[in-house]
Amino acid sequence: MTLAELIAQARTALDTAIATRQREQDALMALRSDENLTEDAVTAQVALRDTADAEVTRRQEALAGLEAEQVRENELAALQARTVPAANRAPAYDQVHRVGQDERTYRPDQDRRGRQFERDVVAAALGDDYEARDRLSRHMAEERVERGNQLERAAGTAAFAGLVVPQYLTDLYAPAAAAKRPFADACRKHDMPAQGMTVNLSRITTSTSTAIQTENAAVSETDIDDTLLTFNVQTNAGQQTLSRQAIERGAGVEPVVLDDLFRRYATTLDSTLLNQATNGLTNVATTVAYTDASPTAAEAYPKIIEGLAGVESALLDMASGDNIAVMHSRRWYWLQNAMGSTWPLITQPGIVAQTLGANYATAYGSGVRGVLPNGTPVIVDNNIATTLGGGTEDEIYLVDRQECHLWEDPSAPMYIRAEQTKAASLGVLMVVYGYFAYTHVRYAHARKIAGTGLIAPTFTGV
């Protein structure tokens, strides 16, 4: 791998670290806006933000070191270009016989590969070697004398298809876009248990009781009972076979393929949490119907508030207050396009009363995108289906973030690189896999806004 490729990788790693740090900072700001926040939650988030900040510093220093090394390499190359071996120096003017014409500046018999010419071109391009410029000028004058008619014909690069080499900017390759895992990143994280293919939770379904006692009468008693909540550990995996020629003769082929596998892994995980039959969020959430042939953002907002009210009613004292709204990007922008002259009667902390919430102008997948008028953070996730209902509807989900549980291995996804299995065909098998489990129904609290009011939006300002 060249130094330039290492620098490109370091820049990509730095960009990723900066995005992660920004995501943790956004999460911290959203947490601080929650009036029910706890000091432990803030301290934990600050620690995450500081860890991400330290990673940015480390990546920045690594990039600076590589760039300094590149500067030094360029300096040495320029120094070498200015240094002509003594054996190649032309003899003094008064120490040679001259017969009819001067010697050429660049002579094939002294430099068959043209290395001196190449060094002079580089040195002249760097702008700090006037002798190199003089030699190149003399060379062009000599060319005009000997081959002036050919130079005047001005052949273009098309005349040298075998010499004008196409350049491929591998550091600027365009990955296939992916929806990735915005909702999964917002869920409450747990480490995957070391063993087993099911996860079991005890859920109290019959509670104890109290009542007003009649004097000398027995006090109220109800036997407590639980129901076992069981959900499966699932495997998310994908593979790709590459020829050894592609890996060994290509530029960055393996990292590109691995990056794409990681993107598909994240997208599949997130889509499963939202859309899987029976247990996906769309199938466990209670519907708040929004039916309207001419929907408007102003009409949709009260439905969102109704859904949030349902979340709190289901959780009661178990509500953390850490509610989020999860919606497709087209729905988020539709809410932003609305214009109006009215505003909520009750103001909310940090929200201008005359606006329909606030947009943080962050990139897709970077965490909280903004807040609704009542301060509820918005997660934008394009794994939400847009072909529901009559075929063009999406849904808005309202949940308590702390009751959306996701178990993952801390090192997931895993990567297997197997060469032996495909050795006979010079193939290399790349496999990405990971285990996960999830549940949104420890308490049946989730709500979704659904119906004809959420058909494909038209951006008309209402």
How large is the C-alpha radius of gyration of the chain? 33
Residue-level pLDDT at 157: 67
Domain edges within the chain? 179-190+237-345+352-454
Q: What is the mean pLDDT of the chain?
A: 85
- Asked whether residue 88 carries a pLDDT value surpassing 60, the answer given is no
Overall pTM > 0.75: no
Q: Cβ–Cβ contacts within 10 Å for residue 322, how many?
A: 21
Residue-level pLDDT at 86: 46
Q: List, for residues 46-75, the tens digit of each pLDDT value.
A: 888 899 889 989 988 888 888 888 888 877
Q: List, for residues 173-201, the tens digit of each pLDDT value.
A: 888 999 999 999 999 999 999 899 999 99
Q: In this prediction, what percent of the chain has a pLDDT beyond 90?
A: 48
What does the alpha-carbon distance between residue 408 and residue 410 come to, in Å, rounded to a whole number?
6
HSE-CB for 34 with a 13 A CA cutoff: 21
Residue-level pLDDT at 87: 46
pLDDT band at 27 (very low <50, low <70, confident <90, very high): confident
What does the alpha-carbon distance between residue 430 and residue 156 come to, in Å, rounded to a whole number?
44
Residue-level pLDDT at 342: 72
pLDDT band at 344 (very low <50, low <70, confident <90, very high): low
Residue-level pLDDT at 178: 95
Q: Which position has the higher pLDDT, 90 or 71?
A: 71
- Sequence letter at residue 35: E
Q: List, for residues 363-384, the tens digit of each pLDDT value.
A: 999 999 999 988 899 999 999 9
**Cβ neighbours for 310, distance < 8 A, ≥ 6 positions apart:** 286, 288, 398, 445, 447
- Asked whether residue 234 carries a pLDDT value surpassing 50, the answer given is yes
- Asked whether residue 258 carries a pLDDT value surpassing 80, the answer given is yes
Give the tokens for residue 82.
């200015």
The separation between CA 99 and the C-alpha centre of its own chain, rounded to angstroms, equals 70
pLDDT band at 419 (very low <50, low <70, confident <90, very high): confident
- Asked whether residue 456 carries a pLDDT value surpassing 80, the answer given is yes
Query: In terms of Cα–Cα distance, which of 261, 256, 405, 384 is closest to 320?
Result: 405
What does the alpha-carbon distance between residue 319 and residue 308 come to, in Å, rounded to a whole number?
11
Residue-level pLDDT at 142: 78
Buried b or exposed e, range 260-283, using 16+ CB within 10 angstroms: bbbbbbbbbbbbbbbeeeebbbbe
SS3 for 210? coil
Q: List, for residues 295-311, the tens digit of each pLDDT value.
A: 999 899 999 999 999 99
Q: List, for residues 286-299, the tens digit of each pLDDT value.
A: 999 999 999 999 89
* Bridge partner residues of 228 (DSSP): 202
- Asked whether residue 13 carries a pLDDT value surpassing 60, the answer given is yes
Q: Is 280 left (phi over 0), alpha (psi -120 to 50) or beta?
A: beta
For residues 91-113, average pLDDT: 63
